[in-house]
């Protein structure tokens, strides 16, 4: 699979989501100019982690003024409190980042952060600093909707991704630069989605539907959807079908296979790659499901018999 096929597959899929269009619209022309074969680690239009770690601070001597940063790059930072409290001051407004909350800031802007005097003992936190195409715009969209300090409670998608990024960065476990970039981009999308999403506690069925529609390309299950929505599997299946006229399991299968069909028709990506992109870890299971749904094998959907 050549790089152009990977990029075309990624771009086509990203166009199906409004948030993805924001981040990738300015990249498409540049990406299409990449040579068919190149070193992925040398691509400049990727999200890159500057540093990611866990720290503990114990006094007000932990203080930084972002406007004094001499690095000209607009490095974005998401810093989540594990214990105690930090503060972030921007536009004359000082906010505390308590346990389970994350402060969002950018190097070079007029803001200050550090150890909060209100903290009861240590200020323990995790942070990720990164760069990337439109990273500042995406972070600002989250801040516009949820503020400079955003809730990131246990169990939320953004925290799961943050913890995985921290683990992979610390253990040098990213497969390559594109894997690192995709995880940062997904993390930004999760932050933005959570900043704008309809709260699960107000309407768990609507939340379940939004979760399913935004995550069907990952290998999630109905149990995962039920857990994220705060419902039992049985209650979710029954009430989801009552509202939407289809069970969550059938809706998940529908989204995956209809998307796979379009990818088969519009790209030359290998069938195994399309299966993975649509939430199937097992290509054989994908082929069986596809044949049962459409009455045809995935390969027969190709416009050209040489497409695979």
DSSP symbols for 114-177: EE-TT--S-EEEEEEEEE-TTHHHHHHHHHHHH-SEEE--TT-HHHHHHHHHHHHHHHT--SSH
Angle between helices 283-294 and 248-266 (to 10 degrees): 100
Measured at the alpha carbon of residue 226, what is the angle toward residues 223 and 227, in degrees to the nearest 5?
85
Cα–Cα distance for residue pair 273/269, rounded to 1 Å:
6
Closest CA to 125 of 174, 166, 170: 166
Closest CA to 273 of 221, 217, 222: 217
Task: For the domain made up of 200-308, give the CATH fold.
Answer: Arc Repressor Mutant, subunit A (1.10.10)
Instruction: Determine the straight-line distance between the first and last CA of the chain, rounded to whole angstroms.
Output: 10
Phi-psi region of 279 (alpha: psi -120 to 50; beta: other; left: phi over 0): left
Query: Options 2.60.120.280, 3.30.1360.120, 3.40.50.1820, 3.30.450.40; which CATH number does 48-196 get?
Result: 2.60.120.280
Cα–Cα distance for residue pair 104/147, rounded to 1 Å:
8
Which residues of 40-85 form beta strands (DSSP E)? 48-57, 63-65, 76-83
The answer to whether residues 86 and 79 touch, using CB atoms and an 8 Å cutoff, is yes
Cα radius of gyration rounded to whole Å, the chain:
21
Question: Residue 272, class by beta-carbon neighbours within 10 Å (0-12 exposed, 13-18 middle, 19+ buried)?
Answer: middle
Digit-by-digit pLDDT tens for the chain (308 residues) are: 444 444 444 444 444 444 444 444 444 333 343 344 345 455 558 999 999 999 999 999 999 999 998 777 899 999 999 999 999 998 778 899 999 999 999 999 999 999 999 988 999 999 999 999 899 999 998 888 778 898 888 888 999 999 999 999 999 999 999 999 999 999 999 999 888 765 555 678 888 887 888 788 888 999 999 988 888 999 999 999 999 999 999 999 999 999 999 889 888 889 999 999 899 999 999 999 999 999 999 988 875 444 44
Closest CA to 81 of 23, 131, 150, 175: 150
Parts of the chain belonging to CATH 2.60.120.280: 48-196
| 197 contacts: CB under 8 Å, gap ≥ 6 | 207, 210
CA 146, distance to chain mean position in Å, is 17
Output b/e per residue, 207-223; b: 16+ Cβ within 10 A. Answer: bbbbbbebbbbeebebe
Parts of the chain belonging to CATH 1.10.10.60: 200-308
| 153 contacts: CB under 8 Å, gap ≥ 6 | 100, 159
Residue 106 has which token pair?
Answer: 């950018």
Cα–Cα distance for residue pair 46/24, rounded to 1 Å:
11
Q: What pLDDT is attached to residue 201?
A: 57
């Amino acid at each position: 699979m050549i790089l152009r096929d990977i990029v075309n597959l990624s771009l086509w899929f990203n166009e199906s989501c409004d948030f993805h269009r924001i981040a990738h619209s300015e990249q498409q022309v540049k990406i299409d100019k990449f040579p068919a074969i190149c070193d992925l680690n040398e691509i400049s239009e990727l999200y890159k982690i500057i540093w990611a770690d866990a720290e503990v601070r114990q006094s007000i001597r932990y203080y930084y003024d972002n406007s004094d940063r001499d690095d000209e790059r607009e490095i974005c930072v998401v810093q989540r409190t594990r214990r105690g409290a930090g503060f972030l001051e921007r536009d004359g407004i000082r906010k505390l980042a308590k346990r389970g909350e994350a402060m969002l800031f950018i190097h070079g802007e007029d803001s200050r952060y550090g150890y909060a005097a209100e903290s009861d003992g240590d200020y323990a936190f995790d942070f990720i600093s990164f760069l990337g195409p439109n990273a500042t715009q995406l972070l600002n969209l989250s801040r516009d909707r949820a503020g400079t300090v955003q809730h990131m409670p246990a169990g939320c998608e953004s925290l799961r991704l943050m913890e995985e990024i921290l683990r992979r960065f610390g253990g040098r476990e990213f497969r390559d630069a594109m894997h690192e970039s995709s995880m940062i981009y997904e993390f930004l999308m999760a932050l933005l989605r959570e900043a704008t999403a309809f709260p699960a506690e107000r309407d768990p069925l609507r939340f379940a539907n939004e979760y399913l529609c935004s995550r069907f390309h990952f290998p999630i299950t109905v149990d995962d959807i039920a857990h994220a929505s705060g419902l039992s599997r049985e209650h979710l299946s029954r009430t989801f079908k009552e509202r939407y006229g289809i069970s969550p399991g059938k809706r998940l299968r529908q989204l995956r296979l209809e998307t796979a069909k379009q990818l088969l028709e519009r790209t030359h990506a290998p069938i195994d790659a399309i299966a993975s992109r649509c939430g199937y870890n097992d290509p054989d299971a994908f082929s069986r499901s596809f044949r049962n749904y459409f009455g045809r094998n995935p390969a027969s959907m190709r416009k050209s018999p040489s497409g695979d």
